[in-house]
Amino acid sequence: MPSGSLWLEEPLSQYPPLEGRIKTEVCVVGGGITGLTTAYLLSKAGVKTVVLEAGSLGQGASGHTIAKVTFQHGLIYHRLCVLWGREAALAYAQVNSEAIEQIERVITELGADCGFVRQPAFLYTTLEANVEKLEKEAVIAQSIGIPAKMLHQSNLPLPIKGSLCFEDQAMLHPVRYLKALANGIIRQGGQIYCDSRVKRVENRQAETARGRVEADYIVLATHYPLVHFRGGYYVRLSQSCSNIIAAEGVKIKGMHTGIEPDGLSFRMQGDTLLISGENYRTGTEPKKNHYLPLEDFARSIYARPAGWRWAVQDYLSPDGLPYSGRHSTSLPNLLLATGFSKWGMTQSMAAARLLTDQILGYPNEYAEIFSPARRVGPSVGQMVTNSAGLVRHLIGGYLTRPLAPVCPHMGCKLQYNREENRWECPCHGFHYGKARPLS
Ligand SMILES: Cc1cc2nc3c(=O)[nH]c(=O)nc-3n(C[C@H](O)[C@H](O)[C@H](O)COP(=O)(O)OP(=O)(O)OC[C@H]3O[C@@H](n4cnc5c(N)ncnc54)[C@H](O)[C@@H]3O)c2cc1C
């Protein structure tokens, strides 16, 4: 019986660990979709680029995602209009729709066999009371040029009350895409090192256990930024985890995302139905088996759980916009991209283009809106909530320190997740294996 991520069944390319010192123009830390896309664009532009990955390529969120490649990101356009105004919503739609085109171009350039296929994407609700939310999203989407269509039926085996369709979105096999990007980086003269966890980033140097890279620029594509105190990322990001199962025996058309907090997400991969749901903050529900409700749901629609099942988290920004650009004013040569709020397939491409432009000294029309230095106004409420949670977990860690493990990063009390067999930090979502020594 298979288990773990369906995508990681694909054998991954192996790259050696970093040994000794090297000099380069850009060092990209992290071998997920963000790091590899950035390294691909930079090396294509003739920039000497080195990628350092802690383990193997795609081992993070990018190898565990659902991989809908879309600019339909929940009710994002309504949210952005309220928080930042119509211009921001328009920019978000533009940059993410350009990203789909760009991903398609890269796939063609690389001759990548990664199952990229155009499909419609649907947001749906099973509650009459929430149909209005879809209608509002439709009106805003149409006003910024998205041909969004409201429907009152769906091919999902669920009692749908309303559904909002964006045509011509896409999906792909994320790990095959990453493999193609990695091959492209190497062909363009870039270097990739795996099993090379960066322990420290300082003065344009990234240091691993056995080596060091000196670079003009360092890009943190580590999902959660390594350097998180400067820049205050520990309160500007929060994590949300979901579980995914694969099932057989039922086929659906298109990609579907529920808008309720407990809504499910669906897409096919070949003949296999992927179902994602059970959203929670990592490290806060250690005792619950989140797979059981998904498997029960699958059986209720006459699908058979196919064995693959996994949990994955992403980082959310308080205002729904990612952080892409300079890490902080005090570290001008350190760049980062994070906070994709569960929509990193297109946003990683948008971020990679932005970071590449910044490194090459070109203007980028989206630099200001995605800047980590943007004003925090609309985010203050969420940041206060994040801070309150952090303080609570820090106090918990301090009081139980002699008896229970705490996170070596900040000292928050860790929770043991039996289902995933790992310790989890409720503050910033880091995981630690059962056997890992803890402070
Ligand atoms: C349930 C779920 C479903 C999702 N579905 C979709 C979807 O359908 N469509 C969509 O657009 N997005 C989706 N996403 C979001 C998307 O998967 C992520 O935003 C995206 O994969 C993040 O990519 P990344 O490269 O930034 O991070 P990652 O893929 O996590 O890559 C970061 C890499 O950095 C490495 N690393 C970390 N620390 C170090 C270090 N110190 N030294 C060296 N390397 C390091 C890690 O090992 C990892 O390989 C989903 C997310 C979730 C949680």
The model's pLDDT over 112-133, given as tens digits with 9 standing for 90+, comes to: 999 999 999 999 999 999 999 9
At 251 the pLDDT is: 96
Percent of the chain with pLDDT over 90: 78
| Ligand 1 mutation pick, 51, 62, 212, 244, max ligand atoms within 8 A of CB | 62
Determine contact, residues 126/258, Cβ cutoff 8 Å.
yes
At 1 the pLDDT is: 66
Q: What is the mean pLDDT of residues 27-42?
A: 98
Q: Of 328 and 2, which is predicted with more confidence?
A: 328
Assign 386 a pLDDT band (cuts: 50, 70, 90). Answer: confident
Residue 439 has pLDDT above 70, yes or no: no
Measured distance CA(79)–CA(426) in Å, rounded: 26
At 434 the pLDDT is: 58
Q: What is the mean pLDDT of residues 330-336?
A: 93
Task: Tell whether ligand 1 has an atom less than 6 A from the beta carbon of residue 31.
Answer: yes
Determine contact, residues 21/211, Cβ cutoff 8 Å.
yes
Measured distance CA(214)–CA(211) in Å, rounded: 10
Measured distance CA(149)–CA(142) in Å, rounded: 9
Q: List the single range of 4-8, 43-47, 223-227 with lowest mean pLDDT.
A: 223-227
Task: Tell whether ligand 1 has an atom less than 6 A from the beta carbon of residue 208.
Answer: no
Alpha carbon of 423 to ligand 1 centroid (Å): 19
Q: What is the mean pLDDT of residues 213-223?
A: 98
Alpha carbon of 314 to ligand 1 centroid (Å): 7
The number of beta carbons lying within 10 Å of the beta carbon of residue 270 is 9
Which ligand 1 atom lies nearest to the CA of residue 30? 34
Alpha carbon of 221 to ligand 1 centroid (Å): 9
Q: List the single range of 283-287, 329-333, 337-341, 342-346 with lowest mean pLDDT.
A: 283-287
Q: Which CATH number is associated with domain 7-65+175-235+320-374? A: 3.50.50.60
**Whose CA is closest to 30, among 202, 226, 173, 251?**
226
| Ligand 1 mutation pick, 223, 241, 420, max ligand atoms within 8 A of CB | 223
Which ligand 1 atom lies nearest to the CA of residue 345? 11
Alpha carbon of 249 to ligand 1 centroid (Å): 29
- Name the E strands within 339-428: 415-417, 422-424
Determine contact, residues 320/79, Cβ cutoff 8 Å.
yes
For residue 223, the one-letter residue type is H
Q: How deeply is 402 buried, as exposed, middle or buried, from its count of CB atoms within 10 A (0-12, 13-18, 19+)?
A: exposed
At 48 the pLDDT is: 98
> Which protein residue has the closest C-alpha to ligand 1 atom 21?
62
For residues 306-331, b (16+ Cβ closer than 10 Å) or e, as one string?
Answer: bebbbbbbbbbbbbbbbbbbbbbeeb
Task: Tell whether ligand 1 has an atom less than 6 A from the beta carbon of residue 65.
Answer: yes
Assign 272 a pLDDT band (cuts: 50, 70, 90). Answer: very high
Measured distance CA(156)–CA(159) in Å, rounded: 8
Q: What is the mean pLDDT of residues 233-257?
A: 96
The number of beta carbons lying within 10 Å of the beta carbon of residue 409 is 16
Task: Tell whether ligand 1 has an atom less than 6 A from the beta carbon of residue 222.
Answer: yes
At 195 the pLDDT is: 97
Residue 253 has pLDDT above 90, yes or no: yes
Determine contact, residues 34/351, Cβ cutoff 8 Å.
yes
Q: Of 47 and 383, which is predicted with more confidence?
A: 47
**Secondary structure element (H or E) that encloses residue 43, with its range:** helix 33-44
Task: Tell whether ligand 1 has an atom less than 6 A from the beta carbon of residue 34.
Answer: yes
| Cα dihedral sign, 87-92-94-95 | positive
Strand, coil or helix: what is 205? strand
Alpha carbon of 237 to ligand 1 centroid (Å): 14
Alpha carbon of 127 to ligand 1 centroid (Å): 31
Q: Are strands 255-258 and 265-269 parallel, antiparallel or unpaired?
A: antiparallel
Task: Tell whether ligand 1 has an atom less than 6 A from the beta carbon of residue 343.
Answer: yes
Measured distance CA(156)–CA(134) in Å, rounded: 17
Measured distance CA(192)–CA(16) in Å, rounded: 8
Scanning 318-362, the segments in alpha helix (DSSP H) are 344-360
Residue 308 has pLDDT above 50, yes or no: yes
Assign 437 a pLDDT band (cuts: 50, 70, 90). Answer: very low
Q: Of 282 and 298, which is predicted with more confidence?
A: 298
Q: How far is CA 44 from CA 123, 185, 353, 362, 376, in A?
A: 36, 8, 12, 15, 35
Assign 92 a pLDDT band (cuts: 50, 70, 90). Answer: very high
Q: What is the mean pLDDT of residues 374-381?
A: 84
Q: How deeply is 388 buried, as exposed, middle or buried, from its count of CB atoms within 10 A (0-12, 13-18, 19+)?
A: exposed
Cα dihedral 9, 15, 19, 25 in deg (nearest 10): -120
Which ligand 1 atom lies nearest to the CA of residue 33? 25
At 394 the pLDDT is: 82
Question: Domain extents for the chain?
Answer: 7-65+175-235+320-374, 379-423
**Secondary structure element (H or E) that encloses residue 102, with its range:** helix 86-110
Assign 230 a pLDDT band (cuts: 50, 70, 90). Answer: confident
At 317, give phi and psi (nearest 5°).
-95, 160
DSSP state of 400: H
At 357 the pLDDT is: 98
Alpha carbon of 265 to ligand 1 centroid (Å): 18
Mean pLDDT of the chain: 94
Alpha carbon of 59 to ligand 1 centroid (Å): 8
**Whose CA is closest to 369, among 125, 176, 132, 85?**
85
At 405 the pLDDT is: 86
